[in-house]
Structure 1
């Protein structure tokens, strides 16, 4: 048997207000005055000096605001990389992603593509990256995706939605400052938090489960129950706990995998552009057959927080459109094997997936 030898984020700073030390963290990493730091920041913070004023730009450093209303695309990565190369005298000293899963995934992808030739779509898959990425930092401003800790950067390409999964993808440094999550809208907080919860359910019930994944998954699962069901938590405590649930949830799938909800959600995202968090919620809401206890608890949380999920999003799709979603979802073979075992193809048939999509 060959054991996976996954990398982990080597440096982590945790604590409310820790973002204020960003300049101290970056100073020793600057290569020279011609090698800028590039800050990719969620465009929700555009015109918000509360965050940007704490970043000390020097020399040719630049801030680029990343639109996050749609899922990150391979062509966006390619365009960003080209702009950075054209505008910089030398390869950047580092890339800093500040935002939610979309922005963090963009930062990881750009850091990888600055040192690897070709297009981002060429690297969608597992272990296709040949050269180490440039130095890159992740600073989440919303908690749940686990993007800050994972070895993947989820991208929608011309043919599929699939991550760049590699040993060079994880961040070199992460700063976990829960204060940065204080203004997240309620619905977004729920959808992204449920991404973490669904990570845990899929990891803990999967055939790939092992004690490494289990220890992280169980902790994240318990934190999610506290955050979404315990009325006694202060807002600050809930923010800190969700930040750590996200971290542990991301770690729980590092040595296992996600499952049915994520596979089907990728199909929705590819065809309809449904964002990852809400997509997982829409799908998971119909998966009692696969995750009976997990879905029951999800519905309890949804009801408690008065969350209304979109319905009928697949109502008017053509045969070709259904087939496109099914093809994307079935292409994620490790997810299905984790969820259903080696004989998953006898259960997850195109007809079965069609019937599930028709419910959404």
Structure 2
């Protein structure tokens, strides 16, 4: 038997106000006068106080990225070309500042600067051949676990699937809970529920082990303090829950909710957080306790999910979603174990989607 040898983020700074240390961290990477850094910043921060605090030097490249839609392989390839056109040299670091989508873009661009061809070639598991450019993740929304994970999730020409690799993992993260102040309530909820669902899927899965369990249980406790108890330090707690939820699935796997959500996201364009919530709400057969608690959290925070979005869709649209969802082999293996292929039928998935 061989055991998973997975990579963690090697360096991290945690604490309120720690964003101010970014310039010092980048100073360690800048060795020569011509060395430059690429900053990929969510465009919601453009012309806002945080945008003005990004420590950009005269010869750096600052790109405000739009993540109104899910990140795509096309977007990654275009950003990579923009960096290559900017200089004949490679950047010394790629910094992602924003939510999970922006962090995934930063991870993907850092990989594509050192690996030939388009990013769609690398959607899958361990297809990346060359180490990435040094890259730093700074979340301004908490929940996805993108700061901790070995994947950069992208919508490609065929399906929504991550660039899953040890090289994807950030070299450095900065977790400053001051940065998540002012996130709209619905986004705060949907993104945080991604974390909560990571824990449910990990704890209920066939891949569960004591490593994954330790992180998932603590992360879930923190989620409850945030979304049920409304704790005074909920920003710090959610930031740690997000990181620990990401760590939990690093040594286990997500499950049915993420598989269904990938189908929704790829075909209908739903963002990952709300896509997970839409999927989770119909998965009581898989996760009865988790779904019941999730619904209590929705009531407490006045969250109303869209209803009947798939009920009257054409059969061919549902069939596309089913195909994407069915292709998530490791996720279904975590749900059912060996022989999952017999249980994950087109009919079963079609019924689930029609209920969303």
**TM-score bracket relative to the smaller structure:** over 0.9
How many angstroms does 1:203 deviate by? 0.2
Map 1:164-313 onto structure 2 (within 5 A). 164-231=163-230, 233-234=231-232, 237-313=233-309
Q: Does the alignment pair 1:328 with 2:327?
A: no
**Offset from partner CA, 1:262-299 (integer Å, 9 cap, x none):** 00000001101000000000010011100001101001
SS at match of 1:79: helix
Q: 1:5 — aligned with what?
A: 5
Residue number in structure 1 paired with 2:40:
40
The SS at the match of 1:217 is helix
Partner of 2:73: 74
Aligned partners of 1:133, 1:207: CA distance in 2, in Å?
A: 32
What pairs up with 1:107-126 in 2 under 5 angstroms?
107-126=106-125
* Secondary structure, counterpart of 1:253 in structure 2: helix
Counterpart contact for 1:217–1:252, Cα < 8 Å: yes
Determine helix, strand or coil for the equivalent of 1:327. helix
Q: 5+ unaligned residues in a row in structure 1: which ranges?
A: none
Secondary structure class of the residue paired with 2:137: strand
Number of residue pairs the alignment of both structures matches = 356
Q: Which residue of 2 aligns with 1:127?
A: 126
Distance 1:34 1:285 in 2: 52
Contact persistence 1:35–1:88 (CA under 8 A)? no
TM-score, length of structure 1 as denominator length: 0.97
Q: Is the 8 A contact 1:116 1:130 kept in 2?
A: yes
RMSD: 0.9
Bigger mean CA deviation after superposition, 175-184 or 29-38: 29-38
CA distance in 2, matches of 1:90, 1:171: 21
Contact 1:33 1:59 in 2 (8 A): no
Long gaps (5+) in structure 2: none
SS across alignment from 1:29: coil
| Aligned equivalent of 1:340, options 336, 341, 350 | 336
Q: Which moved more, 1:86-95 or 1:56-65?
A: 56-65
C-alpha separation in 1, matches of 2:300 and 2:343: 33
Please list every run of at least 4 consecutive aligned residues from structure 1 whose deviation after the TM superposition is greater than 6 angstroms: none
Secondary structure at the aligned position of 1:133 is classed as coil
Equivalent in the alignment of 1:139: 138
The TM-score with structure 2 as length reference comes to 0.99
SS of aligned partner of 1:171: coil
Aligned-partner Cα distance in 2 for 1:101–1:95: 15
Q: What CA deviation, in whole Å up to 9, does each residue of 1:142-178 have, x standing for no partner?
A: 0000000000000000001000000100000000000
Point out the more displaced range, 166-175 or 27-36: 27-36
Tell me, what secondary structure is at the counterpart of 1:303? Answer: helix
Could you say which residue in structure 2 is the equivalent of 1:318? 314
Partner of 2:154, secondary structure, is strand
